[in-house]
Amino acid sequence: MFPRETYESRRSTLMSRFDGGLLLLLGNSESPMNYADNCYLFRQDSTFLYYFGLEQPDLAAVMDVDADTTIVFGEEHTIDDIVWMGDLPSLASRAERVGATDTRPTTDLAKLLGRAVTAGRAVHFLPPYRAETKLRLQNLLALAPEEVAREASEVFIKAVVDQRARKTPEEVAEIERAVATSVAMHETAIRMVRPGMKEMEVAAEMERMALAAGGRIAYPVIATINGQTLHNHYYGNTLSEGDIFLLDTGAETAMGYAADLTSTFPVGPHFDERQKVVLEIVLASYEAAVSALAPGVPNREVHFTACRTIFEGMKDLGVMRGDTEEALAAGAHAMVMPHGIGHMMGLDVHDMENLGEAYVGYAGEPRSTQFGLKSLRLARPLEPDFVLTIEPGVYFIPQLMDLWRSEGRLASFIDYDELDKWRDVGGLRTEEDFLITAHGARRLGPRKPQTVQEIEELKG
Ligand code: GLY
Ligand code: MN
Ligand code: MN
């Protein structure tokens, strides 16, 4: 937990953006896996964590802008709770640690909100992403199911996004801790893979290391010899000499801050020639994107800088052809790079995605519907203190290649016979995390091995 002043100051900044009314934040509840008492690992809502730092389930908070008070709602532990879960600090003492002025039992929340609604006061709340939170909002505010999303407060969303998007030095230090753990995880994986091993052994070691560092993984591990499937969570394959392994994993610290790193490395001691050629294109794209990072630069441009390098690399291989700018505008590069160059990162690995990417990554601009570009989560101009990922990749996706070829899609830019020669190479990506500074950007945490030489040296 950060010092009490951190939470007090975050809340007072938030409240200063409103002329009056109530700001309602609901924490998360336990989420049953297969029966009520067997739950998924509890994860607090990130916005609740940001303003209150309290990890326990079933909390809520109301900031009354007019009265300048903050009330945390929850239940004190019963003797049964203590018997099953141990002696825990009281709600009052936990709230006091984060500077909340008052605590009340959960039943008081409905009464307080009912009075506010009757008095015509504004009750601002954020769009819910869990079914139980939607239900709770319906009940608390007497809303019909379809009204919940519609009534979510745009000014509240914008205020939270503005604040959470700019990381303070103490948040950056926490993210760098997550990255340091994650770099150690990646180095371990690069050293440990060998023919005969299963993908799940690598995935298991990644989870172990994140837990041993005091946190957990920030998102499900991708540990696969089929990196061309972008979010591949299958770990059943046995590794063979000649396979290329894509690892996308990041730790989350005890306070909930994420890292997000990807490495691609050979199962055997060396990359083969084609893997090397493709990795060099990915790394050139990464370097170009990183060099483009600066305040004021729209991240859409950073994306196109990365894609331009990939398209040029594909041209050098004879796979793509034609005028680069025309090809980029038409989306030809998306055949091998169908996702965006990166996204914001913080308390969520895709930071604040639950509040709406239109607010987080587009700030009101329209989002493209073109294949590839529609998956760019962050397009808006970068600002100092933003934290984001840079994650270019090149993927040979047989089903996509066959579909586009059968349609003759963008055939003036893609030589499908040449492309077909690469269909068994799979997918390669590299990913690191950056802070936008006053004049450019700085990589967060230690550098991970990512060149052909660095990776082969680490494998010994
Ligand atoms: N780890 C998911 C992503 O890179 O966006
Ligand atoms: Mn990732
Ligand atoms: Mn990412």
Calculate mean pLDDT across residues 89-114.
Answer: 94
Ligand 1 atom 3 nearest Cα: 260
What pLDDT is attached to residue 101?
81
Calculate mean pLDDT across residues 104-120.
Answer: 96
DSSP result, 163-225: HHHS--HHHHHHHHHHHHHHHHHHHHHHHH--TT-BHHHHHHHHHHHHHHTTSEESS--EEES
**For residue 403, what is the DSSP state?**
H
Task: Decide whether 4-164 matches 169-459 in CATH topology.
Answer: no
Calculate mean pLDDT across residues 228-250.
Answer: 97
Nearest ligand to the C-alpha atom of residue 262: 2
Structure tokens at 211: 């837990």
Given a cut of 90, whether residue 460 has pLDDT beyond it is no
Calculate mean pLDDT across residues 445-460.
Answer: 95
Calculate mean pLDDT across residues 145-171.
Answer: 96
What pLDDT is attached to residue 195?
98
Q: Closest ligand 1 atom, CA of 250? A: 1
- Say how many Å lie between the CA of residue 227 and the centre of ligand 2: 12
- What does the pLDDT look like over 37-47, one tens digit per residue? 999 999 999 99
- What does the pLDDT look like over 400-434, one tens digit per residue? 999 999 999 999 999 999 999 999 999 999 999 99
The beta strands (E) that lie in 286-431 are given as 387-390, 393-395, 427-429
Pocket test for ligand 1, best of 249, 349, 428 (most atoms within 8 A of CB): 349
- Say how many Å lie between the CA of residue 343 and the centre of ligand 3: 6
What pLDDT is attached to residue 364?
83
Going by pLDDT thresholds of 50, 70 and 90, the confidence category of residue 88 is confident
Calculate mean pLDDT across residues 170-180.
Answer: 98
What pLDDT is attached to residue 452?
97
Given a cut of 90, whether residue 399 has pLDDT beyond it is yes
In the Cβ-directed half-sphere of 146, how many Cα atoms lie within 13 Å?
0
CA–CA dist 236, 215 (Å, integer): 26
187 — phi, psi (to 5°)? Answer: -60, -40
- What does the pLDDT look like over 190-224, one tens digit per residue? 999 999 999 999 999 999 999 999 999 999 999 99
- Say how many Å lie between the CA of residue 434 and the centre of ligand 2: 13
Given a cut of 90, whether residue 67 has pLDDT beyond it is yes
What are the residue boundaries of the structural domains of the chain, listed by start?
4-164, 169-459
What pLDDT is attached to residue 437?
98
Going by pLDDT thresholds of 50, 70 and 90, the confidence category of residue 74 is very high
Mean pLDDT value across the chain:
97
What pLDDT is attached to residue 221?
98
Given this structure, which CATH class describes domain 4-164?
alpha beta
Pocket test for ligand 1, best of 221, 341, 350, 387 (most atoms within 8 A of CB): 350
Q: How far is residue 280 from each of residues 87, 274, 309, measured CA to CA in Å?
A: 55, 10, 11
CA–CA dist 55, 164 (Å, integer): 18
What pLDDT is attached to residue 152?
97
Calculate mean pLDDT across residues 272-277.
Answer: 98
- What does the pLDDT look like over 13-23, one tens digit per residue? 999 999 999 99
353 lines ligand 1 (CB under 6 A): no
Residues near ion ligand 3 (CB < 5 Å) are 260, 389, 391
Q: Closest ligand 1 atom, CA of 248? A: 1
Q: Closest ligand 1 atom, CA of 218? A: 1
Contacts of 130 (CB under 8 A, 6+ apart): 28, 29, 31
What pLDDT is attached to residue 342?
98
235 lines ligand 1 (CB under 6 A): no
Given a cut of 90, whether residue 226 has pLDDT beyond it is yes
What pLDDT is attached to residue 391?
98
433 lines ligand 1 (CB under 6 A): no
- Asked which of 45-59, 78-92, 148-162, 291-305 is least confident by mean pLDDT, the reply is 78-92
260 lines ligand 1 (CB under 6 A): yes
Pocket test for ligand 1, best of 389, 395, 429 (most atoms within 8 A of CB): 389
**For residue 414, what is the DSSP state?**
B
What pLDDT is attached to residue 92?
93
- What does the pLDDT look like over 346-382, one tens digit per residue? 999 999 999 999 999 998 889 999 999 999 999 999 9
Given a cut of 90, whether residue 389 has pLDDT beyond it is yes
**The domain 169-459: what is its CATH number?**
3.90.230.10
Calculate mean pLDDT across residues 305-323.
Answer: 98
248 lines ligand 1 (CB under 6 A): yes
What pLDDT is attached to residue 417?
98
